[in-house]
Chain A
Amino acid sequence: NAGVMQNPRHLVRRRGQEARLRCSPMKGHSHVYWYRQLPEEGLKFMVYLQKENIIDESGMPKERFSAEFPKEGPSILRIQQVVRGDSAAYFCASSPERGKETQYFGPGTRLLVL
């Protein structure tokens, strides 16, 4: 059973460009979570999605950031008009059931904004 897959592993963007980060949950998992980790910091929750639904986006910046988890395909975290402060590691996690604390994390995507 493959783990959580994220791609790309590294992404370089110039200020003003768009960044798209993809996450494929573990097989059988229908709950996806996105986290951001700044250097020397812990992970900060951004958004929690189920298939075709955003359940909790309380950690997501109000502007430029969006997330989706379509019926088919991976979950996408989209950052429009990136700024240098968006440079961070973005981790995706998945879980099999609602309410389960055991989340399985992917390897992360490291975004660098020049």
Chain B
Amino acid sequence: LAKTTQPISMDSYEGQEVNITCSHNNIATNDYITWYQQFPSQGPRFIIQGYKTKVTNEVASLFIPADRKSSTLSLPRVSLSDTAVYYCLVGDRSGYSTLTFGKGTMLLVSP
């Protein structure tokens, strides 16, 4: 399983755009990149998934460069409720895959 590295914490203010970058130098050809969000005392919640280039949904955007050795989760105009831990995961979709969570990035949004 490809190992991921992401910042331990980030601070932001309401209304700002937040970009969280994740490194995955050993990503394999079949691996997809998935981001989850976890609030205190809750289970992780799927945010977005991608393989290459750019993916956008109603919540976030995911930017993946051509070499796929990193990815950036972009949260537009964050609010206080976006304060959470964000996990970057890399896994194989060709068969089954068990998710491997690191410690994630603790995002704190202040007023």
CB distance from A75 to the nearest CB of B (A): 15
| A56 at interface by CB-CB < 8 Å | yes
Known contacts A101-B49, A101-B91, A102-B49; is-contact A43 B44 (Cβ 8 Å): yes
- Check if B44 sits within 8 Å of A55, measured CB to CB: no
CB distance from A11 to the nearest CB of B (A): 14
CA distance A106 to B92 in the complex (A): 22
- Check if B100 sits within 8 Å of A45, measured CB to CB: yes
Known contacts A101-B32, A101-B91; is-contact A107 B43 (Cβ 8 Å): yes
- Check if B43 sits within 8 Å of A91, measured CB to CB: yes
**Interface size class of chain B, counting residues whose CB lies under 8 Å from the partner chain:** 20 to 34
| B99 at interface by CB-CB < 8 Å | yes
CA distance A61 to B53 in the complex (A): 39
The stretch from A12-20, A63-71, A78-86, A92-100 touching chain B is A92-100
21 A–B contacts, CB within 8 A, in A order:
A4-B43, A41-B103, A42-B101, A43-B87, A43-B99, A48-B98, A58-B98, A91-B43, A93-B44, A93-B99, A98-B96, A99-B95, A101-B49, A101-B93, A102-B46, A102-B49, A103-B46, A105-B43, A107-B43, A108-B42, A110-B41
B residues apposed to A, CB below 8 Å: 32, 34, 41-46, 49, 87, 89, 91-104
A residues apposed to B, CB below 8 Å: 4, 31, 33, 35, 40-45, 48, 55-56, 58-59, 89, 91, 93, 98-108, 110
